[in-house]
Structure 1
Amino acid sequence: MWKEYYHAPGMYDFDYSLRRLSMDPLIRINSKERWVDVPVRLENDKVVVRVKAEGTTEKPVFSVMSDHDENQDVIFEHIRNIFQWDKDLDEVHQFFQQSELSMLFHQYQGTPIVRDFNLYDSLMKVIIHQQLNMKFAFTLSTRFVQKYGEEVDGSWFYPEPETVAKLNYEDLRELQFSQRKAEYVIDTSKKIVDGDLDLQEISKLPTEDVMKRLGKVRGIGPWTVENWLLFALGRDDLFPAADIGIQNALKKWWQMDKKPSKDDVEKKAEEWTPYRSYAALTLWRSIED
């Protein structure tokens, strides 16, 4: 067993991150003890890493621990990137104090962007979740992972792309996937296995290039790419203006009788560059509460 500590540079509301992560029934969390178990793929192994809050939102300290004694530096770097501990959220807070969202950012200080645990897993999840209500979306992704993935020390790992690429569409139809969604999940996995889609390479591209590359894949539209950019890559400046939750949050904030249009939302969001992702997450949080 090894254990390391990390002190974040600014405010960090880890308890909110746990609440958001707890929406996914596949993720093992203890909100009272303030920890989450993160499944981590290494080159030849699968390990579970426990991340625990040891401090407060104002003075955030985290511990990272695992029974896996090898590759400690690699594991710790991976965890640090997932939770984006190097991002100084005080700077984000100060930026929005000069905006019309200042009161929201005052109310929800230190709201971080926590990345999904794996690039492929995240893409599968957003493809499965697109155009579904949240409850059924998580039902489908849970069935998918528990049927074809692997449980290690109480935590679930998504199936490998090689496993999914070998499935028949009917295999997923039996889990209540639509025909098209089954095709999108399996065909995208085949592209990854065949080397036609390199998620690691794509993750390093500018946002607009990611939109173009992933947008060419059948079944992956703008909503899916935006969510992958935000939650798989943790990009700072993403604003899904067509998202219904965002529109409802702005309707409430602007005290409108009906939801604002996508164009109006996009135009207003330009004022929140280069931190539009934090605006989006804080707006979502305002209606979640």
Structure 2
Amino acid sequence: MEFVIEPKPPFDFQKMMQRLTVTGKTHVLKLNEQFTEYEKIIRIEEIPCYVKVVSSGTVTNPILNCKAIPLIGRVSEEAVKKKIQQLFSTEVDLSPLYNHFEEHEKLVGVLQRFEGLKLLTDTDLFESIVKIIIGQQVNLTFAGTLTERLIELAGDKVEVEGSTFQVFPTPNSVAKLEYEDLRELQFSQRKAEYIIDLAKLIAGGNLDLESLWSISDEEVLQALLPIRGIGKWTIECLLIFGMGRTDVLPAADIGLRNAIRQVWKLDEQPSEEEVRMLAQDWTPWRTYITYYLWESLNQTPVVVDHT
């Protein structure tokens, strides 16, 4: 099936794709050199589908040409379209954010620099939460290495359109692993336990991640906090990078606090409480302001010739 999606502008597809290369999150997807094409195997209604998204528009007049091929079974075009809209945050209108803060002394520069950069969320919540757990207390490079090793160990490989794609493992496949299987890949004992035990909860029917879509941020927190290895920061990152929620403030995050210190030119890193005070007027855009502040630390290169 093929169809067109017109995201709400501004929408900078190239910046979104380029960010994936900066953060090393390209293990199970393919991008072209111009950052205008995205290909990945995505599960939609439990059906694995090859999805290709090509940007043919501009930042102010964005157009996404989409193609999907179910690898088994059937899936509706409506379901595929809804999934792609969710993944690429196409229906999020950022213009009110930019308009509201266009005269903000500290934020205007950051918002202008990353204008059109929307959240590209993970394709399923299990993939998202596992990658967040892997990233706890390690640098991006090593987290990427561990993620790649897990995919090699427990994921599948499929051939589509003449290319080989790796597929992120399912909860069922991870639940069959032993802790030692991950320890041999340089996972810590705790992370091995957290990831495999989480997979067993899902595979055994004791945790339904899909049910989280219909509840509030606070309810998601309360649902996941009792699970070993999943703290508040992990859940806040899941809300942002897994679910695309737009008003999440991970005030304790060291990266956010470092970015605020830099942008506000503070002598010391602000405390969690000071971040909350500072961010009182960020609602309902706390996620995106946090996201852009994080990006300001990464010094993401700017793609040119795309307006």
Which band: TM-score by shorter chain?
Answer: over 0.9
Q: Which amino acid aligns with 2:66?
A: V
Partner residue of 1:274 out of 284, 291, 295: 284
Aligned residues, how many?
Answer: 288
Q: Please state whether the residue corresponding to 1:64 is helix, strand or coil.
A: strand
Higher fraction of helix: 1
Question: Identity over the aligned pairs, expressed in percent?
Answer: 35
Equivalent positions of 1:9-28 (< 5 A) are 9-22=8-21, 23-26=24-27, 27-28=29-30
Task: Give CA deviations for 1:81-140 in whole Å, capped at 9, x if unaligned.
Answer: 111111112122112225441232122211211211111111111111111111101110
Equivalent positions of 1:177-216 (< 5 A) are 177-216=187-226
Q: Shift of the alpha carbon at 1:45?
A: 3.9
Structure 1 stretches of 4+ with a deviation exceeding 6 A read none
Contact kept in structure 2, 1:203 and 1:233, CA below 8 Å? yes
Mean CA deviation greater in 272-281 or 199-208: 199-208
Please, what TM-score do these two structures have when normalized by structure 1? 0.94
Q: Please state whether the residue corresponding to 1:203 is helix, strand or coil.
A: helix
Q: Which whole-Å CA distance do the structure 2 matches of 1:286 and 1:8 have between them?
A: 24
Q: Shift of the alpha carbon at 1:33?
A: 5.1
Task: Give CA deviations for 1:17-57 in whole Å, capped at 9, x if unaligned.
Answer: 10122221313211415111132114564221111111111
Partner residue of 1:38 out of 37, 40, 56: 40
Contact kept in structure 2, 1:89 and 1:111, CA below 8 Å? no
Q: Shift of the alpha carbon at 1:187?
A: 0.6
Mean CA deviation greater in 229-238 or 202-211: 202-211
Query: RMSD of the TM alignment (CA)?
Result: 1.7
Task: Give CA deviations for 1:140-197 in whole Å, capped at 9, x if unaligned.
Answer: 0110011110122333211111111121111111111111110000111111112221
Q: Please state whether the residue corresponding to 1:155 is helix, strand or coil.
A: strand
Match of 1:88 in 2: 93
Match of 1:8 in 2: 7
Verify: 1:97 aligned to 2:102, yes or no. yes
Q: Please state whether the residue corresponding to 2:279 is helix, strand or coil.
A: helix
Listed as ranges, the gaps of 5+ residues in structure 1 are none
Q: Please state whether the residue corresponding to 1:21 is helix, strand or coil.
A: helix
Partner residue of 2:273 out of 242, 263, 266: 263
Q: Please state whether the residue corresponding to 1:270 is helix, strand or coil.
A: coil
Equivalent positions of 1:66-145 (< 5 A) are 66-68=68-70, 71-97=76-102, 99=104, 100-145=106-151
Q: Please state whether the residue corresponding to 1:63 is helix, strand or coil.
A: strand
Match of 1:155 in 2: 165
Q: Which whole-Å CA distance do the structure 2 matches of 1:234 and 1:103 have between them?
A: 23
Contact kept in structure 2, 1:38 and 1:51, CA below 8 Å? no
Contact kept in structure 2, 1:93 and 1:110, CA below 8 Å? no
Listed as ranges, the gaps of 5+ residues in structure 2 are 300-307
Q: Shift of the alpha carbon at 1:198?
A: 0.8
Match of 1:236 in 2: 246
Match of 2:302 in 1: none
